[in-house]
Amino acid sequence: MELNVEQYAKEHLGSYKMTGQEIKVKVCPFCKDNKKSNQYKFIINAVTGLYKCWRGKCNSTGNLTTLKRHLTPHLLNNREVKKRPLVKPIPLSEKYISWIRGRGISDQVIRDCKIAEADGAMFFPHFDKKGSLITQKFTKPADDGRGRVEWIAGKTSPMSAWGIEKIDHSQPVIITEGEFDRMAVMTAGYYNTISIPAGTSNMYWLGEDYETLSQVKSFIIWMDFDNPGTVSRYKIADFLGYDRCKFIECDYKDANKALIEAGSNYVIEQLKNAKQIHIKRVTYLSEVEDGEPWEKREKLALTRLRPLNEMLGGGLPFPGITILSGYRGSGKTTLIYTIAANAVENDYNVFCYSGETDAPIFKHDFLRTIAGENGIVEYSASDEIKEQFKEKHQKKIIINTTPEAYESNEFLELIENAVRRYNTRVFIVDNLMKIKFSGNHSLSEVLEAQEDFVSKIDVMCRKYGLQVILVQHPKKCNGMKINADDIRGNGRMMDLASNILIVHRINEKFCNLNKVSGLDYAQSDSMITVEKNRGGSDEGDVFFNYSRKTGRFYKDDFELKSTWLDCDIPF
């Protein structure tokens, strides 16, 4: 299987970093200049495979094929062995003519496209600019009546778009997803049409046809109306330029289906009414759905920490990222258990990743927290509590089975899979330093990678409506009260968070260092600071006491002794 651009970079180009669709390689494979001022000057597009070294004395340019030819020619050689030679065509049999006609395609278009037959299959011929046959893409009808590619003869990679050699640069070029879609548009009378050669996941044709495409004034993109088609539409517009691209959205899955079901006039109408593509992630405000006020938005209520819940305006929002920090031993893990318990009480499934605590210890301490004083026997939850929890909530909390660190991309995949497999809405990551970022060694590189990781989590939060709690240790503050600027990471990470919570342990040393006093400090031994509260009612400090026996924050005897999660132990 041929590697995509990012896989190729990972295996053959050494250290790199991603910025959008750009892969910035630390050392150019051509000039190999490793001076710090010339690092990350070699940039390759992850979609098209086009590259350029921006170091003036190098200025190397090309596509993925020329890069492979220079760096890993053996990969090209392996592919050459699998090629089939061009075969002599024969006229189409009535079997294939009837099949194509059944898809609504006119006989004139069949002739103009020079579709022929060989070796028992029909093929779409690809020609170069001089009109010479260079590729034969063989296909047969599948059970559903659609075409199924059987093999390709001649030039296989990178392939040009089908019909690219015939386009008129001065007229709009229609880009379709499949060969039958191209022929459908041609049947409606628009011959200035091409189809992409190798599916929506392979956009190398953009680089192969760059010279021709750059001369075209405008495009109409008609991809299939499914997720791959939508994604590819934006990939094509990213490359060609949004100012040159319009798109079609209609009531049918693709152009061929539109022709079959609604006829040529409908296809013509769609082409005439093609819409300008919005820049990705941009639209008119008038087209946006009405939003809800903060008070009505979905929140993870922290009812077991009522004063904190009130300060947060009803809880932690969906979607949202919460950054949790504090000194070692301040109570971060205690707060994690409490948040997890509140999530389960509110019927959310929770995924807890602990890079510092084995799963059996996590389970023991969590069950101790929900048990309260009345449900604890010698610092452990009673057997009755354990049985009730297993009976009522056995599939509500998911946890990693080993504390081994995840690669950042692996963890992002884990989040997506947990959403789909377990319907998980709340994720707790303890802690961010336990996520590995390959290719980053210096502190600044790690922090930059962490920012990128949190940005991707933010996207997932919005896509799936998640609440993600990220534990991040503070810098060395020598016992002083921590604020957002003291948390490891850059300002961008803090900007992405909807809430920042910091846990402090109150003792004589803390009060003296920070020169604080008063009844709250005298009567409490723990404090949770709401340092950021986007959309909530307030920011400030909330005071609690901590019970080592239960591993709980509490305000009164009821909060200390009562059991949680419907585990009924009277007192």
pLDDT digits (tens, 9 = 90+) for 56-102: 788 888 888 778 877 876 565 443 334 588 999 999 999 999 999 99
Using DSSP, state whether 412 is helix, strand or coil. helix
Q: Name the band, by pLDDT with cuts 50, 70 and 90, for residue 537.
A: low
CB contact at 8 A, 540 and 530 = yes
How far is the C-alpha of 454 from the C-alpha of 449, rounded, in Å?
9
CA distance 152 to 158: 12
Q: Give the separation between CA 391 and CA 94, rounded to whole angstroms.
A: 66
Alpha helices by DSSP H, 13-120: 64-71, 73-81, 94-102, 107-112
Residue of 490, 425, 423, 414 lying closest to 451 (CA atoms): 490
Distance in angstroms (rounded) separating the CA atoms of residues 297 and 227: 28
Q: How far is CA 132 from CA 108, 415, 503, in A?
A: 21, 50, 72
Phi, psi of 505, rounded to the nearest 5 degrees = -95, 125
Q: Give the pLDDT confidence score for residue 279 in this predicted structure.
A: 78
Closest by CA to 351, choosing from 299, 292, 411, 308, is: 411
Q: Encode pLDDT of 14-31 as tens digits.
A: 889 888 788 999 999 888
d(CA 349, CA 41) in angstroms, rounded, equals 44
3-class SS at 349? strand
pLDDT at 37: 82
pLDDT at 294 over 60: yes
Per DSSP, the three-state class of 236 is helix
Query: pLDDT digits over 474-524, tens only?
Result: 888 888 888 888 888 777 888 899 999 999 999 888 898 888 888 888 889
What is the domain partition of the chain in residue ranges? Answer: 5-81, 94-276, 298-561
Phi, psi of 14 (to 5 degrees): 75, -150
Lowest average pLDDT, out of 144-148, 230-234, 425-429, goes to 144-148
How do beta strands 245-247 and 219-222 pair?
parallel
pLDDT at 79: 38
- Checking 110-113 for CB contacts under 8 A at 24+ apart, the result is 110/183, 112/186, 112/191, 113/163, 113/183, 113/186
Residue with tokens 């087209």: 287
Residue type, 57: K
**229 burial type by CB count under 10 A (0-12 exposed, 13-18 middle, 19+ buried):** middle
How would you label 363-384 residue by residue, b for 16+ Cβ within 10 Å and e otherwise? bbbbbbbbbbbbbbeeeebbee
Report the C-alpha gap between 89 and 225 in whole angstroms: 34
Which helix (H) or strand (E) segment holds residue 408: the answer is helix 408-422
3-state SS class at 339: helix
Q: How many whole angstroms separate alpha carbon 225 and alpha carbon 254?
A: 6
Q: Which two tokens stand for residue 126?
A: 């690809």
Q: By the 8 A CB rule, do 44 and 26 touch?
A: no
Q: For the chain, give percent helix, strand, coil, nearest 5.
A: 40, 25, 40
User: Nearest-CA neighbor of 562 among 389, 372, 311?
Assistant: 372
Peptide bond before residue 431 is cis, with ω within 30 degrees of 0: yes
Banded model confidence at residue 544, pLDDT cuts 50, 70, 90: very high
Distances (CA, A) of 313 to 291, 295, 340, 382: 18, 7, 19, 35
CATH 3.40.50.300 fits 298-561, yes or no: yes
Edge-to-edge strands, sheet with 526-533: 397-399, 349-354, 424-430, 467-471, 320-326, 499-505, 526-533, 540-547, 552-554
Q: 549 near 569, Cβ under 8 Å?
A: no
The distance between the two most distant Cα atoms of the chain, rounded to a whole number of Å, is: 95
- Between 7 and 262, the higher pLDDT residue: 262
Among 144, 102, 100, 101, smallest CA distance to 124 is for 100
CATH of domain 94-276: 3.40.1360.10
Mean pLDDT along residues 242-263: 94
Handedness of CA 480, 481, 485, 490 (dihedral sign): positive
Top mean pLDDT of 132-141, 179-188, 307-316 is at 179-188
| 141 has a pLDDT exceeding 90 | no
pLDDT at 267: 96
Residue 397: how many CB atoms within 10 A of its CB?
Answer: 23
pTM of the model: 0.59
Q: According to the model, what pLDDT value does residue 75 have? A: 60
Sheet holding 173-176, edge to edge: 193-195, 173-176, 219-222, 245-247, 275-276
Q: Shortest CA distance to 26 belongs to which of 433, 451, 445, 450?
A: 445
Say which DSSP state 138 is in: E
For 14, 37, 38, 110, 320, the CA distances from 448, given in Å and listed in that order, are 18, 18, 19, 55, 21
